Amino acid sequence: MDKTQWISTVESLLRANDGVRLEDASVPSVYRAVSRATMADILDTWESCKRGSKKRVGYLSAEFLVGRAVYSNLYNLGRLETVREWMAERGVDISVFEEIEDASLGNGGLGRLAACYLESGATVGLPLDGYGIRYRYGLFKQEFVNGFQKEEADDWQRCGDPWSYRREDESVLVEFADYAVRAVPYDMPVIGYGGKTVNTLRLWQSEEAEGFDFAAFDNMQTDKIAKNRIRAESISYALYPNDSTERGRLLRLRQEYFFTSASIQDIVRKHKAKGLSIDTLNEYVTLQLNDTHPVFAVPELIRLAMRDGLDFEAAFLLARSVFNFTNHTILGEALECWDMKRVRKLLPAISDILRLMQRRIAREFPDGSLYLIRNNTVHMANVAIYAGSHVNGVAALHTEILKASTFRDWYAVYPERFINVTNGVTPRRWLALCNPELSAFITEKIGDGWQTDLERLRDLSKYACDPTARSEFAKIKYIRKSLLSEHILKKEGVLLPPEFIFDVQAKRLHEYKRQLLNAFSILYYYFRIKEGKEPSFKPTAFIFGAKAAPAYYLAKAIIKFIQSIADKVNNDPEVNDKLRVVFVTDYNVSYAEKIMTAADISEQISMAGMEASGTGNMKFMLNGTVTLGTMDGANVEISEEAGIENEYIFGATVDEVGRVKENYDPHAIYESDPELRRIVDTLDDGTFDDMGTGMFKELKNSLFGGWSKDHYLVLHDFRDYVRVKSQLNRDYGSDEFLTKCILNTASAGKFSSDRSVLEYAKHIWKV
Ligand SMILES: *Cc1c(COP(=O)(O)O)cnc(C)c1O
């Protein structure tokens, strides 16, 4: 379509669907028309891609954190500028689409990774489709009331869902012991850069199995009618808001089986519709399990294969040749387990198959060293490793930890199954689209092509010490900071002067990520500035973005603590020309796109060994930000790529953590360090007010008392952290510092998700 055709398509869609003329149309109307015009435009490519390859990859994931689709789809199709101009001619800025909600069908890193992988798959031309759940409500929206987090429902379809088609005729029945539901697929196109490949993200929605119950209606049993409907729809009603951990709840079990059963039935049905028998499925399909949430797909495939006449052994071997498993965390409480009594009650056929699998492994390992079910509990990661071809960790360090400890016994028996695929992020969304200024700079220096061949960024290295390039880079960062500053002023009511250093920690709130350590460092500078001990401290704005799981008490306490610090610091005229603190509201993908481009410092300060990879760290790096971090997850590879002298690394390493923990005494550190003691004491000396909740006292207790005893070594790493943070503050603004920033962008090539998916394709999927 050229521009005129485009405009007339959009105009007729507006008339037909919303009954408005362009000049009277609301933003949501224009949004729907633009989206649908784009959908019509890609239809032929989409259809031919579905048939294009013999073997397809299915990426099974309970979460796809896709964010806002309109800009990235238009960008990938090369239409963004056309639409921008067309709207501008009518006096509308394309940024009006920012009022369209993100699709937040994921919690954080794991879900965002799935979205990046689909986009990269389509860009590099892999036949990669996603399968997940079409939650009615995505991750909650965050608000603050007196500094406390409050959760609101996320009605992401408020302006409709023009980026998907309901495929009623491809619905499948999913059966639980007590009732069955209908899984209705909604297909979203996944548009690769350049628009040559369009893959599919198929999200299942749960609905009532039978149609309307007229008998019940006749008998005035409206309660029964409503109940059945709610019961069915509840399965895909809401995303569980826990990042990394989910307690074994019945509805969660239903969700997991719901979308995996629907996906497997769908895949098998399509396979058989080609006239093929199920035992050849592995020649046509390979399935990636994104963490343990989709692992019920394994017994489900075995069940269907046995129903088609394969014996258990053949069905098991078929599954093994189809499935692969990605592990995302070593947090003990996140290794998913289910009580077999529950599984048997809800999914009797699946329970039987899991028992057959356990019997098989018990025959192979009579000493019980490897098992799937123990103490009547099924360990989903074990199922995935046993019944899959490959297991991968998500960063080099993480994979080493899996081999050496988490899955040591498995690694001893199946070493050839273990492989590392370091995570990546899509450079289209996380650089080209979100940072047009830096993108133009890069293209001007090294030419086009880096968007799909990110290793080319290396060519920027030769400009790292170039005075002109350095000052251009500094100007760009200043522009990005000004834009973020305006946005934050508007949204949060806090002014961050762009001349300040922007020191950012944006990620889910978790004790292991140690936002508390960052908070302590702010108080450290706060007290020292007030005492005149930091005469040359360069003004710094500390920016936080994070959601806490609604039931995670200590995470919420940390939010309230940081909010209290922000209140104190921002209103203290003695320090607020040196320090500002803001906790942004409702951190999500769209906010991240603004934040990542404007940061001077990327805080990646998890206790070593805890962050499997991180992907936020990569987004910052790509946008020319130095990492202030521990030797954890992909930070290790980031410092390898950029050179450790271009990052700010501190704290105990994995080995040191192990040694320190042997006889750790947080109280001794507290007693011997008066400055730190004063900071920790603000939790219960009346400096801050937790409004009678007792939260702050509990936070303090987590450092000394009970089980926890500063489990994540906040006190242990504190001194090294502020030492390096102060060094960074001294370095900031120098020519050498700008060189580090440019070298970070120049060294980020490895962290393209294009590289990641190609590694999966070569070593795991064999496509
Ligand atoms: C990238 C991203 C994450 C993951 O951040 P980490 O720092 O890797 O934990 C979480 N949430 C959003 C919205 C993101 O864009």
Residues 106-127 have pLDDT tens digits of: 999 999 999 999 999 999 999 9
Q: Judge whether residue 378 has pLDDT over 70.
A: yes
CATH number at residue 129: 3.40.50.2000
Angle between helices 714-731 and 674-681 (to 10 degrees): 110
pLDDT at 216: 76
- Name the pLDDT band for 22 (thresholds 50, 70, 90): confident
Q: Looking at the domain assignment, is residue 690 inside a domain?
A: no
| Ligand 1 atom closest to residue 619's alpha carbon, by position in its atom list | 1
> Terminal CA-to-CA distance of the chain, rounded, Å?
32
pLDDT at 212: 66
Q: Judge whether residue 367 has pLDDT over 80.
A: yes
Structure tokens at 319: 């599954």
Structure tokens at 754: 């294009």
Q: Judge whether residue 137 has pLDDT over 80.
A: yes
Q: What is the mean pLDDT of residues 602-627?
A: 98
Looking at the structure, do residues 506 and 518 belong to the same domain, yes or no?
A: yes
Task: Establish whether 560 is a catalytic residue.
Answer: no
Q: Which amino acid residue places its CA nearest to atom 5 of ligand 1?
A: 616
- Which residue out of 615, 625, 682, 745 is catalytically annotated? 615
Nearest CA to 65 out of 129, 119, 27, 125 is that of 119
Share of the chain above pLDDT 90, in %: 93
| CA gap 578, 572 in Å, rounded | 10
Please tell me the distance between residue 615's alpha carbon and the centre of ligand 1 in angstroms.
6
Nearest CA to 178 out of 248, 254, 261 is that of 254
List ligand 1's pocket residues with C-beta within 6 A: 108-109, 112, 507-508, 588-589, 592, 614-616, 619
- Domain extent for 515: 427-673+711-751
Q: Judge whether residue 317 has pLDDT over 80.
A: yes
Looking at the structure, do residues 460 and 342 belong to the same domain, yes or no?
A: no
Looking at the structure, do residues 434 and 553 belong to the same domain, yes or no?
A: yes
- Name the pLDDT band for 341 (thresholds 50, 70, 90): very high
Q: Looking at the domain assignment, is residue 342 inside a domain?
A: yes
Looking at the structure, do residues 64 and 83 belong to the same domain, yes or no?
A: no
Looking at the structure, do residues 500 and 529 belong to the same domain, yes or no?
A: yes
Looking at the structure, do residues 558 and 469 belong to the same domain, yes or no?
A: yes
Are 415 and 388 in contact by the 8 Å Cβ rule? The answer is no
Looking at the structure, do residues 618 and 650 belong to the same domain, yes or no?
A: yes
Which of 86-90, 296-300, 403-407 shows the lowest mean pLDDT across its residues? 86-90
Q: Judge whether residue 715 has pLDDT over 70.
A: yes
Q: Looking at the domain assignment, is residue 706 inside a domain?
A: no
Q: Looking at the domain assignment, is residue 686 inside a domain?
A: no
- Residue to mutate (ligand 1; options 65, 433, 619; most atoms within 8 A of CB): 65
Q: How does pLDDT run across 165-202, given as a tens digit for each residue?
A: 999 999 999 999 999 999 999 999 999 999 999 999 99
pLDDT at 210: 78
Q: Which amino acid residue places its CA nearest to atom 15 of ligand 1?
A: 589
Q: How does pLDDT run across 488-528, given as a tens digit for each residue?
A: 999 999 999 999 999 999 999 999 999 999 999 999 999 99
pTM over 0.75: yes
Q: Looking at the domain assignment, is residue 386 inside a domain?
A: yes
Mean of per-residue pLDDT scores for the chain? 96
Looking at the structure, do residues 410 and 433 belong to the same domain, yes or no?
A: no
Q: What is the mean pLDDT of residues 706-716?
A: 90
What are the φ and ψ backbone dihedral angles of 332, each rounded to 5 degrees? -50, -45
Looking at the DSSP assignment, which residues form a beta bridge with residue 580?
541
Task: Establish whether 166 is a catalytic residue.
Answer: no
Looking at the structure, do residues 213 and 127 belong to the same domain, yes or no?
A: yes
pLDDT at 2: 79
Looking at the structure, do residues 580 and 634 belong to the same domain, yes or no?
A: yes
Looking at the structure, do residues 199 and 252 belong to the same domain, yes or no?
A: yes
pLDDT at 723: 98
Looking at the structure, do residues 456 and 404 belong to the same domain, yes or no?
A: no
Q: Looking at the domain assignment, is residue 693 inside a domain?
A: no
Task: Establish whether 682 is a catalytic residue.
Answer: no
Task: Establish whether 615 is a catalytic residue.
Answer: yes
- Name the DSSP class of 110: H
Nearest CA to 111 out of 325, 319, 391, 423 is that of 423
Q: Looking at the domain assignment, is residue 382 inside a domain?
A: yes
Count of residues in the chain:
767
Q: Looking at the domain assignment, is residue 697 inside a domain?
A: no
Using only the alpha carbons of the chain, give its radius of gyration.
26
Residue with token string 């934040």: 595
Q: Judge whether residue 220 has pLDDT over 90.
A: no
pLDDT at 386: 98
Domains held by the chain: number: 3
pLDDT at 52: 87
Task: Establish whether 342 is a catalytic residue.
Answer: no
